[in-house]
Amino acid sequence: MAEQKILTYLPVLPSGELMGSAAELLGAAAQLGTPVGVIVTTPGVSQAAAESAGELGAATVYVAEHEAVGTTLTEPTVNVFTTAWESVSPEAVLVPNDIDGRDLAARLSVRTHSAIAADVVGVHRDEEGIVAHHSVYGSTFTTESATTHGTLIVTLREGAVDHRGQAVTPEIHRVELGELSPHAASITEFSASAEASTRPDLRGAPTVVSGGRGLGSAEGFALAEQLADALGAGLGASRAAVDAGYAPHSLQVGQTGVTVAPDLYIALGISGAVQHLAGMQTAKTVVAINKDPEAPIFDIADMGIVGDVFEVVPQLIETLKGQNS
């Protein structure tokens, strides 16, 4: 088993820091075999990123640096990944289930004629090979998938795997990226569509506070923000709250929004429609505050408070502030 190589894509911030998904991808890889990382950065930051990958369990890291990384979409990563793939013949490939990860998975699948298991919430190995777990039909069922032959490409849902790799000193291989195709899609200009937030990113935050229509207005939604800040949590919203303009679409949790799997999910004034549950039902602990005792969110909540959010949440925030001081 130790010989089975599991190739992981480790996205890097412009500062050279590994993104939060790296620990989880390498942890999932360590459950299956020997984790191998792939890092593609702008010049000057790859060494530190590769060493960080070793601390998270990457036995080998393939690194490439290029000026065009950051302004050219996906192609540099696919090229480096293909080189690493040819070199290690991986049994499985793990990438984050985000926009870049899914793009990478699709291109690798075409290039290597390999199967994809998408939005995976866990992995294990049986006597025939690697098995991916999926949470389906609004998280009502868990199913499993596996390839009949070849390498399995997995897009892993952030926050779903707890296992972590053991720190090692990684073997670092430098890969020359070479000329990029003139057809590679590149970014010529961009403008920020959302204000930068100091809160943890909704995807991957260990605690998420989400607000729903029950908060009544954009001003009322500030209560969810205050509780999130008191807990150091990521902030989410139901679609009804987003549609009503209480919160931006980037915060929408659910079937047509972001899928999260935090340790703790706190739902404020959210009824628990199946489309919302689809995005948060794999949270380890769900706490719901709702004034309707019949609200369906209580069916899946580990702890429920029947009450008015405007009475309960300020008390909760005061208690938390008291504990922190």
| CA–CA dist 103, 100 (Å, integer) | 5
Smallest separation (angstroms) from ligand FAD to the CB of 261: 15
Q: Which amino acid is at 43?
A: P
Judge whether 192 is annotated as a binding position: no
- Minimum CB distance to ligand FAD smaller for 47 or for 255: 255
- Of all residues in the shown chain, the one whose CB is closest to ligand FAD is 254
H helices within 157-246, ranges in order?
A: 218-231, 239-243
Judge whether 133 is annotated as a binding position: no
Judge whether 20 is annotated as a binding position: no
What does the binding site for ligand FAD look like in residue numbers (CB under 6 A)?
212-214, 238-241, 252-257, 269-271, 273, 275-276, 279, 289-292, 295, 308-310
| CA–CA dist 139, 122 (Å, integer) | 13
| CA–CA dist 291, 295 (Å, integer) | 8
Structure tokens at 76: 């540099």
Residues 6+ apart with CB under 8 A from 125: 1, 31, 32, 33, 131
Smallest separation (angstroms) from ligand FAD to the CB of 212: 3
Neighbours of 179 (CB within 10 A): 6
Smallest separation (angstroms) from ligand FAD to the CB of 266: 12
Smallest separation (angstroms) from ligand FAD to the CB of 254: 2
Element (DSSP H or E) covering residue 289:
strand 285-290
Judge whether 33 is annotated as a binding position: no
Q: Taking Cα atoms as reference points, which of 37, 77, 1 lies closest to residue 165?
A: 37
- Minimum CB distance to ligand FAD smaller for 271 or for 281: 271
- Minimum CB distance to ligand FAD smaller for 209 or for 253: 253
Judge whether 323 is annotated as a binding position: no
- Minimum CB distance to ligand FAD smaller for 257 or for 304: 257
Neighbours of 189 (CB within 10 A): 4
- Minimum CB distance to ligand FAD smaller for 132 or for 273: 273
Judge whether 275 is annotated as a binding position: yes
Judge whether 57 is annotated as a binding position: no
Judge whether 254 is annotated as a binding position: yes
Smallest separation (angstroms) from ligand FAD to the CB of 241: 5
- Minimum CB distance to ligand FAD smaller for 118 or for 306: 306
DSSP tag of 215: G
Smallest separation (angstroms) from ligand FAD to the CB of 262: 16
Q: What is the strand order of the sheet 264-268 is part of? A: 234-237, 207-211, 264-268, 285-290, 303-306
Binding residues for FAD: 213, 238-239, 252-256, 269-276, 290
Binding residues: 213, 238-239, 252-256, 269-276, 290
